[in-house]
Amino acid sequence: MDFNINAEQRAFVELAQQFASHELAPNAAQWDAQAEWPLAALKQAGELGFCGLYANPEWGGLGLSRLDSSLIFEHLAMGCTTTTAMLTIHNMVTWMVTAFANQQTCAKYGEKLTSGEYLASYCLTEPNAGSDAASLTTKAVKDGSDYLLTGSKIFISGAGETDVLVVMARTGGPGAGGISALLVDANSEGISFGRKEDKMGWNAQPTRMITFDQVRVPGNQLLGQEGEGFALAMQGLDGGRINIATCSLGTAQQALQDALNYVNERKQFGKPIAAFQGLQFKLADMNTQLVAARQMVRLAAFKLDQKDADATTYCAMAKRFVTDVCYEICDEALQCFGGNGYIKEYPMERYVRDSRVHRILEGTNEIMRVIIARRILQAGSQIIV
């Protein structure tokens, strides 16, 4: 078992590091403070291939593994958590389109998505269907060869700025089996966007409600078959959980690096505070947790790439563990800065704010525990190893 990354992976990592250090990190604080949509940076990311990392190469994607993609997202997140998180959402949608849309729809949207010419949002959550996504009520009713889409989605990242939407809607009866996935042009007549939510973090990407009022969607923009939407959504979320865990991982690594630099420079009682054993123990624990989190992400990504029967469980475990642990690392890194960590002149408070939501989205960490426990109990009280 070789835990080292190969030469090709190293090349991707170095490209991500360069982009993060030159384009993301210098602008992240401004994007956050001004709630600025970093469109130019997102477009530039598309030019580098970062908008179609694991999308079908037939439509301009790189066709990378989830493990390779996680390496890239990890290092992008060291530059800007929020922008990287938006890129992960876009990649999830791009993968779904290039994997499950028909040839006509892929020809229309595929290369525009993988290149970043079009940016995309993922629309699952509703006002009364959060963790219980199978109870969603947004409807898509057949009208000739088209669908008429009616309903509302909330907490949609990029809403009002993105070009296309993947929308989960009910085309059949109650429950998961009645849900289908539709690719919708965000400029379609009948779509309206709510106010931009005033959030704790993730300020560099807008989050809005989207309302659909008899929006006409061509029937050929159905992803997969009718009734497969919930299954496709869950497949998307397996990868999405690895992605968001990876965003936490990159953010925590940057927070720890910043803390390490600070404690070596900051002096109290006549010596660098790194000389005090209390801080040394803190740094040791943070680094240990970071390495453990990284191995969990890469294991889950490997299991997903291998189509392991328990891949969903591994993704849930990674998402639960890594987002919790990496949030704690960011919080402890802030503590190392003392009062300066609470001041916006330093990035520590932004790391904490931006990583906090990772424990909620892509399925709350409480839901991750439900998924894990259900699998264990279904296996006849057999642990997952």
**Among 321, 319, 305, which Cα is nearest to 362's?**
319
**Residue 13: other Cβ atoms inside 10 A:** 16
Residue with tokens 């190469």: 57
DSSP letter (8 states) at residue 379: T
The SS3 of residue 275 is helix
DSSP letter (8 states) at residue 20: I
Q: Is 362 a catalytic residue?
A: yes
CB 177 within 8 A of CB 191: no
Residues 6+ apart with CB under 8 A from 44: 19, 23
Q: Count the alpha carbons within 13 Å of 116 in the hemisphere toward its beta carbon.
A: 19
Measured CA to CA, the distance from residue 46 to residue 378 in angstroms comes to 42
The SS3 of residue 85 is helix
Measured CA to CA, the distance from residue 341 to residue 356 in angstroms comes to 16
Q: Count the alpha carbons within 13 Å of 313 in the hemisphere toward its beta carbon.
A: 14
Residue with tokens 């849900």: 179
Tokens of 65: 């593994």
Among residues 228, 332, 349, 362, the one annotated as catalytic is 362
CB 147 within 8 A of CB 181: no
The catalytic residue positions are 362
